[in-house]
Structure 1
């Protein structure tokens, strides 16, 4: 068939077979138009064939995407800037590109951690950077001290046992975060503050609202891990950032409204550079956040028999709060001080001397060995009298008697389920009770979000008369497809529909036909 390639103001015909691949078409364009593409460390040029508003992939055949005889394909030269370096995130399994010029290789490790934190959403005190050979990068050094070149890939690791917790924070799953909290109260408090910072960065309203109800504060800095608090003077500067500052940087307007509704003092909270949320939003150019914060600061607070401007009201509130904290600390009632200073018997981490506890090990890998040793140590030894007298040993083991099953009425099932939910809720409240009691005087107001209604279970279709053999064949074919493709049939269909939807210039039925063709072509390829 004959197709037309439009390139650089000219249109040339090409006679190609219908099953011609896009990669072969690009080579024909290079040879015919004498295209020279540059490929260096910073910039890479490549050809892109476009049809129907979508970029064609190299592995596609022309007939797969509905290209017929007489079709016009547009050819463009695209430039792609290569990243200066890459950072492999061990939490998500993704590789983050660090874009810019070669001048970035002369910046400090602390500055690089700030850039990585903004891209990944993780606070700087939750991860470390190291080379692929295992050399850890310290904040006080420069990148050139480690001989890092253009194209180098670094590795991001988190604390052992934190992978599942941070994944739940990044996804905004409250139950996952709750189930992977540490049993040590100082570490658990630090985890909750980390979760609030991640929720502020990514806009997870449900998670942020739950953390505020548990006693976390948007005007408190994220801080450092309790193992490092003895040397907080040399900590990274961004550890002094609060969730309200992160929300202003990330342009999360709904999170800002949630924090300010919970506590007006967040309007006057300043970061390590002395900037309040309004100034941060102005520097970042987030207009919606600037408009909201400016209106709040210029508003008037109505009190009994008087009205005060917001700025004066905030100053009075800051003075009152500071006086309460000082009075409580003098009377040894300010409980949060117990979490700030390490105590006797706790672990301290000295950089360069201790074995690193940030190797991104999963929670199961950390807890499995200790459980095995504990179970083996508590295993009782048989008495010596039984070893000597073999005749007293029973021939068969006595089976344990199970409790008898009792019939339950349908009406009593709801009461049992309600009682179980109350038990789970009481355990959850008891786990975080001491943390939620801290600074309770500053958290009297509650911001109640609308409840999330659960979806009703969708009934599945039942095929009457289907034999067990046919269902076995269907299940086996689906399992083999998932084994060779790496995704389920549903995920494969979604992927093909997503690719077909990029042909924006084609009608919907044509896009559906392209998706069907891609599915049919991929199954024989895997077979």
Structure 2
């Protein structure tokens, strides 16, 4: 039996129904509008279209010509909801739906004169400016790098790609540094985890990675106070003040370099109170001044007090607070003194106490507090212990254990120069006790490296202090279980979190902070919409990990 041939019904515009193929096309695409220089053009794109592809479509449609010379670089930027969209994002992941309007702008920026790879955080710092920076001194470059990395100048050294160390007394042109060169920043061996804890404001991490030698430990605490003053870590700063640190004392130099103290960098005489005024950390300023009023009259290497530093940096809130403090009165028993006069009297008293102590100990003390067996480093005469080795690698070198960083860092061994590799003998590796399939191990490493490549290192640096999650709950009190919940639900959740950390190289907490920080850049969206964007980003990343072979 044969069925009669029939033609599909024709589409009638007067009816509300559409043919199935037309509805299917509408579901697979959505229409967005791109606004550029007063004109608005519609684009029919799939929901999973990437921002990079949208930029190329806008560039071809609006016939945009971008200049790309040695000094200035122009590029397109798409913004939605107050946030600049990154090329790797998909439209549906950041809440862009059909009918949304996206702004397109032409941005221009100066190309960096050079780059500095930070071995502590794993990020590359751009040094912007004119080509005149190539003729500046190494000391001036270290000042710029210190302000960008928030690390005191006495905690790191700079070296060329060939491994040649840069000394403060020389000029950059003495090392034949060209335009676009990437220098390397290294810290003292065993300090990587300590400095990472300082940058993140984790007091327990800082405390657990302090040196066992008292002079080095005291120098580390003063370094931590400077970093806390720069980044505004109030909890860490308060703990350091309780440990006996002072905001009016300079950071100084490492005890190993006390013979080079006369030729030390100028910024080693900078105090935490000046760093807080430069960074506009008002709460840190209030904490320091409440602890000791003498910090108001503390002078930096240029002879400036904190008020003058804040004025030159243009921080109005800090200037207002410091000016009010200096113009106030100090109430004493039966009298009141202006703050400036009170500070001068306190300064005289402290100066007299120091002279009295020095006169009593002039026969027993020496200019250098060095003892037999102490390590002393002199520039150009011995090997500097500043190669950014982890603390665990120094304690257990025979086991070949790599220190677990607080943030995912690129392997430093791949970035060392050939001269370093030939001068240092590789540590022996003990094989694992359990058999591991080499193919499976390689796939796991590819998955981890692929996830790290998707995350921009510069965005991770912005996430360091922008979004703060509540602390971990370590209560041992049993909590009520929901009705109908499986007794194995907590076990399943724990296994899921461990599996995520195994495949992603990030903890679930770090991943949540990263996604929430990205969602918070959509300032024109309400908070619930930002939370929805963050949940979408987390869900997509989990699905990506699930699809990758383990």
Tell me, yes or no, whether TM beats 0.5.
Answer: yes
* CA gap 1:474/1:266 in 2 versus in 1, 3 angstroms: closer
Determine the structure 1 residue equivalent to 2:395. 367
* CA gap 1:338/1:88 in 2 versus in 1, 3 angstroms: farther
Select 1:145's aligned residue among 165, 174, 177. Answer: 174
* 2:369 corresponds to 1:349: no
- SS, match of residue 210 in structure 2: coil
Q: Distance in 1 between matches of 2:394 and 2:95?
A: 53
Residues 372-418 of structure 1, C-alpha deviations (whole Å, 9 max, x = no match): 9xxxxxxxxxxxxxxxxxxxxxxxxxxxxxxxxxxxxxxxxxxxxxx
Shift of residue 317, structure 1, vs aligned partner:
2.0
Residues 404-434 of structure 1, C-alpha deviations (whole Å, 9 max, x = no match): xxxxxxxxxxxxxxxxxxxxxxxxxxxxxxx
Unaligned runs of 5+ in 1: 373-451
Determine the structure 2 residue equivalent to 1:120. 149
Residues 180-211 of structure 1, C-alpha deviations (whole Å, 9 max, x = no match): 22222222222222222222222233333333
Select 1:157's aligned residue among 186, 193, 213. Answer: 186
Determine the structure 1 residue equivalent to 2:460. none
* CA gap 1:460/1:78 in 2 versus in 1, 3 angstroms: farther
| CA RMSD after TM alignment | 3.6
Shift of residue 116, structure 1, vs aligned partner:
1.4
* CA gap 1:229/1:518 in 2 versus in 1, 3 angstroms: closer
Q: Distance in 2 between matches of 1:218 and 1:86?
A: 32
Contact 2:112/2:127 (CA < 8 Å) preserved in 1? yes
* CA gap 1:71/1:312 in 2 versus in 1, 3 angstroms: closer
Contact 2:327/2:339 (CA < 8 Å) preserved in 1? yes
Q: Distance in 2 between matches of 1:19 and 1:369?
A: 48
Q: Distance in 1 between matches of 2:363 and 2:273?
A: 23
Determine the structure 2 residue equivalent to 1:399. none
Residues 283-311 of structure 1, C-alpha deviations (whole Å, 9 max, x = no match): 11222222222222223333334333322
Higher-Rg member (1/2): 1
Question: How many equivalent pairs are there?
Answer: 446
Q: Distance in 1 between matches of 2:142 and 2:540?
A: 44
Worse-superposed segment, 12-21 or 175-184:
12-21
- SS, match of residue 137 in structure 1: coil
Shift of residue 31, structure 1, vs aligned partner:
2.5
Select 2:250's aligned residue among 201, 207, 221. Answer: 221
TM-score scaled by length of structure 2? 0.71
Worse-superposed segment, 81-90 or 19-28:
19-28
Contact 1:186/1:339 (CA < 8 Å) preserved in 2? no
* 2:58 corresponds to 1:38: no
Q: Distance in 2 between matches of 1:241 and 1:287?
A: 21
Q: Distance in 1 between matches of 2:398 and 2:358?
A: 38
* 2:64 corresponds to 1:29: no
* 2:131 corresponds to 1:102: yes
Determine the structure 2 residue equivalent to 1:291. 320
Q: Distance in 1 between matches of 2:233 and 2:486?
A: 45
TM-score scaled by length of structure 1? 0.73
Shift of residue 482, structure 1, vs aligned partner:
4.8
Contact 1:26/1:49 (CA < 8 Å) preserved in 2? yes
- SS, match of residue 136 in structure 1: coil
Determine the structure 2 residue equivalent to 1:313. 342
- SS, match of residue 157 in structure 2: strand
Pairs within 5 Å for 1:146-185: 146-185=175-214
Determine the structure 2 residue equivalent to 1:9. 38
